[in-house]
Amino acid sequence: MASAVEIDAMRRALQLARRGPRGLNPQVGAVILSPAGEVLAEGFHRGAGTAHAEVDALSQLAPGAARGATAVVTLEPCNHTGRTGPCALALIDAGVTRVVYALDDPTDAASGGADRLRRAGVDVESGIERDAAESVVHDWTALVRTGRPHVTVKWAQSLDGRAAADDGTSQWITGPAARRDVHARRAAADAIVAGTGTVHADDPALTARADDGSLLDAQPTPVIVGRRDTAPDAAVRRHPREPLFYATHDVAAVMADLGARGVQRVFVEGGPTLASAVVGAGLADELLVYVAPVLLGGSRLALGDVGVPTIADARRLSVASIQNLGDDLLIVAHPSSDREGQS
C-alpha cells in the first residue's frame, strides 16, 4: 500500500504532468523519493523527442544518487525504444527499488514496463490517484483509442432553431455571458474548426478573447475546411497561431489528420454546413447548443441534413447539463446509443 508520502508525491507529479505539452505523447510527471521519503528530484515530459518524465527527474541527480529510491510516476514507465530508451530500464539501471504509478500505459508499443521492473526485482504498485491521473491524460487516451481528437460541436440558435435571420445576419443572437463562455471553451481547445463559407461570410478571427477584446493566453489553432479560397487579408490569417487549411469536404479525413498531428481536443464552430457534416458523420463527441430567447423564423436553420431520413433513425442525445447564461440557455449533450423509447 502506498504511504502518505507517496500519495503526496503522486499529487505533485500530477501537477508537474500538466506542465507538459498536449500532443501525440501523454503528459507525465515524476518525483524521485529517497528511502527516507525526501524529494530528491522532479521531472515531466516536455514534448516529443525529449526525455520522459522519469529520465528527466533522474537526470538531475548525480550517478548513484537514486539507488534505493522510490520513483512516483503518473503513468506506467514505458517499455519500448522510440526516440528515447525504455524508462523502465532507466529506473532499473539507476538502482531504483520501488516504483509507484497511477495508470497502466494503454498502448501496445509502450506497455509492459511494470512487468519488466518486477522481473528485475523492483517493488511496483499501481493505481495510486488513478482517477486524478485519468483526468490529466483523458484526451490523449481517447486519441490513442480512436485515432482522432475529441470533437465538440457548438452552435448558437434562436428559440425556433435558426442560426441567422433571413438576410444572413447572425451576430449577437446570444448575450455577453454566453459569448464569454464560448471564448473560455475556445481557449481550452487545441484547435478551432470553421468552414470556408463562414470565413467568407463573417470573416471570424477564431481567437479566444477576454471581455475587453484582448487575447487570452491560450489560443486554439485555427483550422479552415472547404474548397473555397480564403482571402489573403482574412482575419484568420492574422491569428497568433498558424492556420491549417483543408481543401476538402471530408470531415472524417480532416479529423484523422488532426489526430495524427497530436491534436487532442477540437472545437467546431463554423456554421450550419460544417456542424451538420460533423454530426452527420458521427464525429461529434459533445454538442454545445446556446439557445437565445428570440424568434427569427425563416429558412436559416442552425442544423441541416444530418442523415436522418425517418424518425427511427433520429440521433438520440443524452443531456449532460442545462445552464442559464444570462438570458440564454446552454445545453450540453452527448450522442447516445440508447434507442429505447423510440417508436
Active-site residue identified among 54, 76, 129, 269: 54
As given in the structure block, the three cell numbers for residue 265 are: 481536443
Q: Are 75 and 39 in contact (CB under 8 A)?
A: no
Q: What is the edge-to-edge ordering of all strands in the sheet holding 39-44?
A: 39-44, 29-33, 70-75, 98-103, 123-126
Phi, psi angles (nearest 5°) of residue 221: -70, 125
How many Cα atoms sit within 13 Å of 99 on the Cβ side? 33
DSSP string covering 8-53, please?
HHHHHHHHHHTTSPPSSS---EEEEE-TTS-EEEEEE--STTSPPH
Query: Residue 140 in 3-state DSSP?
Result: helix
61: left (phi over 0), alpha (psi -120 to 50) or beta: beta
Could you confirm whether 54 is annotated as catalytic?
yes
Stated as kind and residue range, the H or E segment containing 194 is strand 191-195
Provide the annotated active-site residues.
54
